[in-house]
Amino acid sequence: MLPALDHSDRQQLEKRYPLLDYAQSWVLWHLKTLPLEDPLWLVFSETAGKGGFYDGLGGKSSPLQEILPTMDPESPSMDLQSSLVLIRRFASHGYDLDELWAAQSGRPLQRCCREELEPAAILLVELGANPCLRHFEGISGTPTIMAAALHGCWGLFGKLVAHSKANLIVEQTHEISRRTILHELVVLASVKFIPQALDRIQRVLAAASDANVQDREGTTPLHLAASFGNLDVVRALISSGRVDIHMTDREGRTALAVAAYWGQTQAAMALVESSKALPVPARGQLSPLAAAAKSADKALTVRLLQATSPGTLGLHLDLAGMGILHHAACNDWSDVIEMCLRQVSTDGSSSSVAATQLSPDQIDHSGRAPLHHAAALGNVASCRALLDAGASLTLKDRGGRTPAQAAADAGFKDTLMLFINSGRVDATQRDFEDRDLAHWAATIDCVDVMMAVERLPGARLDRPDRHGKRPIDIAYICKCRNVGLYLASRQPHLDTYSWASLYSSPTVVGDKEPDRDAAGGLGRHFISGTNREEYEEIQRKYHFEDWGLVWCGPSKGDDTDWKMQYEEERLRVVARLEREAAGQEE
């Protein structure tokens, strides 16, 4: 046997014994040929411990780990039954099954879990191995019960749950993520669809003193189940009566808000049924009602509306400050808008501060009211419902735009005409670019819209914006020919544009007659023989001036009427084609 050395002498040991690894393998190979009753096995177990041979090797292995079956086919190994016999002999001889002498204690039990040696792991626990120790190599800081579940050692899992230290075992957290075995069981049941995981959740809930433990992100097992939408796990957690469904994570989200945010309707419905009333979200917290409406889940939104106190509807906001009316306007849910406003109007506490916050003119962080969002999306039904509820058409967002200007900017004529016909639009209001409704109406090529804007009180068609642009300038920039001609007829002194050039294809002019062979300038180097003859035949048959998509004639002169020249050229070409057609018939 080699003398005992500490970790600092590891390099000296290797220098002194260059064949150390070979000698170790040779000894192990011969040991495994001995009978299990041979006393040399007990002598081998004594090489462990503080200051022992294996401690001198840096604690990377141990006698107990050497006798475990290995999955490496090239290394000498014994069968599982022989390992179980030697484990009992080592334990009776006083071997430390937890290997507290090593720098990383608890490795034998962790290795049995990792390599799915479940009988050996169960035997170690029965002989007194501490399952609360962690192994920090490989899976960093993974508790034993978590390793057993991850590797499918459900027999060992049952032993650990029934252990005298079950409370400490099931509440152990991962060193990095701070998740417990209950978190991992939810993931196994929801993502990997392992049925054994769902069966063990109730047993773990019975053994754990705290079922609401949070990981580093503040996520509870119920949050995980809600985000995955696993209805069976959600019901199992709720039925235990041990979970707090109103606990929030670090982002201020309850399990119901998480389910609504990810569109898990069934899980959210189960959480709603188990709650007597929805709590009012604190400032900075995500409201489940706003999350459901933002996900366009109308069924869940209506169910949450029924479970929400009407006096608190104005406090249910998302992180952008948008409430239920904003999202209903975006989704064009006119019936939901009417339902919300009807609940507030019929509620006895409608005069309270919370109730007054839910109004058609409630603004979000961008200063937009629900009518702004509905107008920008062209949702006519929602706009009509909000107008019937008294929504303001003169309220500006933080960009200075009114709902009418937002509708015109998005190009929704029906929505804009609905606002104008209501008689509540102020045509003199300007946005941050100093543009009024006439400027924005000029971006829509609809003369009837511009005429309706002109009839509004205080409307002007010649007011410049911050950049000196008038509505007629905006119309030309946006290529709105019809509106531009109308504005030009109303303001001839401002008409400096050629409106006839709009909606027309461009004219290509040249200074000289195009060379018909110029197109083949580069082609001469590539077209030869039969292909060149076919190419020239096509050029003779289909002339450029006859079949071109644009005008290829001479440029416009100062003293010639180029339109007349083009017409004469066209008549000449048509006459030539008719003569050629008549000659072919003869």
pLDDT for the residue numbered 60: 60
Between residues 83 and 73, the one the model is more confident about = 83
Three-state SS annotation for 371-396: HHHHHHHCCHHHHHHHHHCCCCCCCC
One-letter amino acid of 101: W
pLDDT band at 282 (very low <50, low <70, confident <90, very high): confident
On the CB side of 382, CA atoms within 13 Å amount to 26
Q: Rounded CA gap, 277 and 300, in Å?
A: 15
- Region 527-540: mean pLDDT is 73
* CA nearest neighbour of 181 among 158, 164, 193: 158
Strand partners, 510: 554
Environment class of residue 116 by beta-carbon count within 10 Å: exposed (0-12), middle (13-18) or buried (19+)? middle
Residue with tokens 């260059």: 18
- Region 338-367: mean pLDDT is 73
- Both tokens of residue 420? 């104008």
Q: Rounded CA gap, 252 and 282, in Å?
A: 8
Kindly give, in sequence order, each residue whose CB lies less than 8 Å from that of residue 47, ignoring residues fewer than 6 positions away: 1, 53, 54, 63
pLDDT band at 532 (very low <50, low <70, confident <90, very high): confident
Q: Is 57 left (phi over 0), alpha (psi -120 to 50) or beta?
A: alpha
- Region 421-436: mean pLDDT is 95
Alpha helical stretches, state H, 153-220:
154-161, 166-170, 181-190, 195-207
∠ CA(68), CA(70), CA(71), 5° rounding?
150
Environment class of residue 225 by beta-carbon count within 10 Å: exposed (0-12), middle (13-18) or buried (19+)? buried
Between residues 79 and 469, the one the model is more confident about = 469
**Domain residue spans in the chain?**
518-585
Of 119-123, 170-174, 432-436, which has the strongest mean pLDDT? 432-436
pLDDT for the residue numbered 62: 79
Environment class of residue 524 by beta-carbon count within 10 Å: exposed (0-12), middle (13-18) or buried (19+)? exposed
154-194: pLDDT as tens digits: 888 888 888 877 777 787 787 778 888 899 899 988 888 88
pLDDT band at 50 (very low <50, low <70, confident <90, very high): low
Between residues 372 and 176, the one the model is more confident about = 372
> What is the pTM assigned to this prediction?
0.69
pLDDT(560) > 60: no
